[in-house]
Amino acid sequence: MSVPATPSFSLVGKIALITGASKGIGRAAALALANQGAHVVCVGRGREALDVLCEEIRQLGQSAEALEADMSSMRDIVDKIGGVPRIDILVNNAGTNIPEAFVDVTEAHFDQLVQLNIKGYFFVAQQVAAKMQAHGAGGSIINMSSQMGHVGAAQRTVYCMTKHAVEGLTKAMAVELAPHAIRVNSLCPTFIKTPMTEPFFASRAFQEDTLTKIPLGRVGTVEDIMGAVIYLASDASALVTGSSLKVDGGWTAQ
């Protein structure tokens, strides 16, 4: 009987593009992918932060480049993402949230979240999928979703709506792109300690309420996300598509 070989987590020779890469989860994803040997294209709106990240990656002995672009701009998506010659891995991560009561949501806030969290994801993925099809070597698309794509929460109606949309988009993309060997999955974190979530945790009541919903008893760190990104990007998940990987400490299991 032959001994099965453990699939490789190596990404040597791959080109990975991460949107929203300048901080938080995006930055951690870029570092994780680089550590596995991928050349990383770091996309974000702040050139200075991107340059710092790319230098950190180079100090690790890996390669990276900065691409300043706004994922709420169709022109930037078409011209800048569309201008990258080859992409093997996409971490579709640039997003935002504006917590507020349902009855207080303004059209401007609604449009802002939908523009970045849904429209941006859709058309970034479209650009990348077209490249993957043209290249003919398949690829992996990771849509950064949230536990809020599976549950509801007060003060987060629009955010929950956008993340539920990402879950539906992921499944439909996975079915349509499978014949091209392009895998599409979502990654769904619980609250992760990042610059975006830091203001939430200034409230002790918020902290205590959040922890009651997480069976493992703690919020996440960016390190909790890094292994999941590598798994979904690599051959270790070669038969995984249309799936939602929850890194939520058990929140959605209840």
- What would the two tokens of residue 179 be? 């014949």
Model-level pTM?
0.96
Task: Name the domain count of the chain.
Answer: 1
Of 53, 60, 7, 47, which is closest to residue 232 (Cα–Cα)?
A: 7
- Map tokens 């999955």 to a residue: 185
Average pLDDT along the chain: 96
Tell me, yes or no, whether 9 lies in a domain.
Answer: no
Q: Which residues are catalytic?
A: 159, 163
Give the Cα separation of 212 and 48 in Å (integer): 38
Query: Quick one: average pLDDT of 220-248?
Result: 97
Tell me, yes or no, whether 246 lies in a domain.
Answer: yes
Q: How much of the chain exceeds pLDDT 90, in percent?
A: 93
Tell me, yes or no, whether 7 lies in a domain.
Answer: no
Tell me, yes or no, whether 4 lies in a domain.
Answer: no
Q: How much of the chain exceeds pLDDT 70, in percent?
A: 100
Tell me, yes or no, whether 76 lies in a domain.
Answer: yes
User: The domain that contains 223 carries what CATH number?
Assistant: 3.40.50.720
Cα dihedral angle (169, 99, 188, 14), rounded to 10 degrees? 70
Which pLDDT score is estimated for 223? 97
pLDDT band with cut points at 50, 70 and 90 for residue 207: confident
pLDDT in tens, 146-199: 999 999 999 999 999 999 999 999 999 999 999 999 999 999 999 998 877 888
Which pLDDT score is estimated for 202? 83
Give the Cα separation of 18 and 30 in Å (integer): 6
Tell me, yes or no, whether 224 lies in a domain.
Answer: yes
Tell me, yes or no, whether 134 lies in a domain.
Answer: yes
Structural domain including 158 reads: 15-253
Tell me, yes or no, whether 5 lies in a domain.
Answer: no
